[in-house]
Structures are given as C-alpha cells and as structure tokens.
Amino acid sequence: MTQPYPVTTLRSVADSLHLEDVALETIAQRFGTPTYVYSRAALTAAFQSWQQALAGRRALVCYAVKANSNLAVLSVFAKLGAGFDIVSGGELARVLAAGGSAGKVVFSGVGKSRTEMRYALEQGIRCFNVESAAELERLNEAAGQLGKKAPIALRVNPDVDPKTHPYISTGLKSNKFGVAFDEALALYRRAASLPNLTISGIACHIGSQLLDPAPVAEAAGKVLGLVDQLAAEGIALDHIDLGGGLGIRYQDETPPSVATYLAPLLEIFAGRKEELCFEPGRSLVGNAGLLLTRVEYLKHGEEKNFAIVDAAMNDLARPALYDAYHEAVAVKASEVPAQRYEIVGPICESGDFLAHDRELALADGDLVALLSAGAYGMTMSSNYNTRGRAAEVMVDGAQAHEVRARETVESLYALERPLP
C-alpha cells in the first residue's frame, strides 16, 4: 500500500498527525509557527537507499548542500559517511562546522570567487568542478599563490533535455552551467598544461526533479565516450561525477526508486575502475520535512475562499517561484465542513500563495502541514516584509530538537545603522 503522505515518516494517530513519534500539535505548542520540521529517520533511510543501491561499487554519495543546509541535517549525513556537493564558501564552512570531511567535498557552481577558491584549497577539498575556461585559469592562479595543486574536474554540458521544469534544467546548450561538450577535450588539454592543477575527474549534471532515468543514462553515455578519448591522450581520471537530480513525489508523481534510477548508469560503467560520484539533494531531504503553519483568518469571498496562514512566500518560495505543488493537510481532524481554499500568507504580494484550490476542513487557529518541504524550503527563504525566518526542528523518534531558533525582528536589523 502506498504511504498516504509524501513525507515518509508522517502518520495519523488518533486523528492527529505525527512525524515519527511526535505530534505536530506538540511541536507547534513548544516552538510556535511557522516551523520547518524534519525527520531524522527519513533522512537516514533516504541516504541508506543510495548506499544500498551502490553496494559493491567504488562510489561516493555527495549530498547537495543547497537543498537544505541546516547543521543538524548535514551532521546526520556526515555521520552516515556522506560527501558533500557545495556551491559556495559559506556552504563549505557549514559542512566543516557540522563535522563533514573536506576531503569528501566537491565544489560546483559557475561563479567561484578567488576568496572561495583560496578557502577551499586551504581546507583541502576533494575536487573543484570547473565550469568555464576563465575559471580554470583563475583556479590555477589561486593555487599557485598558495603553493598548492588544485584537484579539478570539468563539468561538461552534454546538451541532453532532462524533461523537467525549465528553471531547474542545467544540461542544455542554453543553460549557464558547465563547459560545452565540444570544447571539453581542448580544455582538458589546457588543464593538463597548467602547473598548479591536477586533473581528477569529470562531472555532469543535467537538472533536478528527474523522474525518468533515460536522459541521465544518455548523458552518461556521452560522458563515457569523452572519458575514453581523454584516456587515449594519456589523461586518466580518478572519478566520474554524474550529478544528482532524482525527483520525489510531491503530488501524484511516481519517481523511480534509487536502485531503478541508478541501474542503467551502473550498467554503462560496469567494470570501470573510476570511482562514481553522485550529488543527490532533493531525493535525500525533500520528503523528510514539512512546513508547519497556523491559520490566522478564514476569509470567504465571492469567487474564492482564503485560508490566511502565518507562513508566507518568504518562508516557502517554491510555489511563487515555480508554481510548485506542496500537499496541504490539516494537522487534526475537524468537524467543520470542508471547503475549497486558497492557502495564502500575510505578505503584500498577489504572488504570496502556498497552495491553490485545496479542499480542507479548517477553523481559525487550526494547524496546516505543507508537505515535501525539506528541500529548497528554508534555504530559499528570506526576510521580505521584515519577517523573521521560521524555526527548524529535527524529530528523532520521540524527541524533538530545535535545530535553528526563530529569528527575532531585532536580529534582522542588527547589522544596519541609521544615518547620524
């Protein structure tokens, strides 16, 4: 039987929703709302599914920190032996603060600064995923200034359509990411000639929320052909980084299991000596978390009914940004009749919505859980309208730990100064 909720450890107990063994009502009473709530058991199970699918292979799973960078989340994965995929110096600092190993960190992103490069080199990260010819030259210079050799992989753009939302597609010719496939061989030759670089691998990532393994397998086949071309020129690679992107269930999607997703890739690289690296983010954290919010007002209009809640687009940007769907469920069963509601926040923007046209039985003050919010929720949040960002709570069995306190209004302007 299919789990009734996308969030994998969410269940109904006596008509009240629990995450693992903690009632969401209890969390709201203790920590207030809006609050992001994560399940340690769900994080662990998701990571272990990657480990199990890769058992017997030389492989490294690098969690994509941008999906959810809370130190508690990072520490769960660090304890499980994860590597980390970062896109900024700040994310590297978080990984190290959470107990992650710099030697298992790959640094992606199109705009690495000199300061970030030096910091990553000083910490001894595993590899830089280089995304342009200009970055290659800058990294060589930065490494030379420190008397180090920078380990590099080129992120190649295979021009494969991932069949996902255009905002999260990264492997087409029109995208800003990566090195054009036809230019990669010449850039590897250039990298081999630079004195302060060490060629370590090759990387490829075509997009996010992928529900079909076929485009990834197509990209992997193109990458393998390039790997063999490089070997013929005496450029041997230690690892092949195939990125992340595996999608999750938000509504009625049927994403493949990790094993099914990886099967064609593992077949393509069967018998190879290179280590395989993967960079999952959403598939590890997306359905391990939810956003807990409370109804402030029910407003009945001529054309629509509105459930105005205390969470808003600054807390969860995905619906306003992508028109993304998040399942919305009442935390406790109610005897009031169900009605169709637009679930909106208090921000002064017409785009401040969290869910459209949902049938819910609600009264003022009721709690609503917005599901599948563990990825790209808190990390994309802002302080628009001078709103403090939500608290974050990690559930571990029967325990609930506040892993990030709610921001106070005073903290939002603590770094500002009025003119004298």
Map out the domains of the chain as residue ranges: 10-39+286-412, 108-280
pLDDT of residue 167: 43
279 is in an annotated binding site: yes
10-39+286-412 has CATH 3.40.50.720 classification:
no
Model-level pTM? 0.95
- d(C-alpha 73, C-alpha 350), whole Å: 33
For residue 178, the model assigns a pLDDT of: 84
For 108-280, CATH gives 3.20.20.10
Bridge partners (DSSP) listed for residue 14: none
Name the strand (E) or helix (H) holding 129: strand 127-130
In this predicted structure, what is the pLDDT of residue 161? Answer: 67
Q: How far is CA 352 from CA 136, 288, 363, in A?
A: 41, 24, 21
Annotated binding residue 376: yes
Query: Where in the sequence numbering do the catalytic residues fall?
Result: 348
Q: How many whole angstroms separate alpha carbon 246 and alpha carbon 258? A: 8
| Site of tokens 């063999």 | 228
pLDDT digits (tens, 9 = 90+) for 137-195: 999 999 999 999 999 999 998 877 665 445 444 444 546 678 999 999 999 999 999 99
- Contact present, 137 and 131 (Cβ < 8 Å): no
How confident is the model at residue 170, as a pLDDT? Answer: 45
Q: From CA 20, how far away is CA 11, in angstroms rounded? A: 8
Q: Report, as ranges of residue numbers, the positions in the chain whose pLDDT lies below 70.
A: 1-2, 161-176
249: Cβ contacts below 8 Å, ≥ 6 apart:
6, 255, 287, 372
- pLDDT in the model for residue 162: 60
209: nearest Cα among 105, 64, 86: 64
Residue 256 labeled ligand binder: no
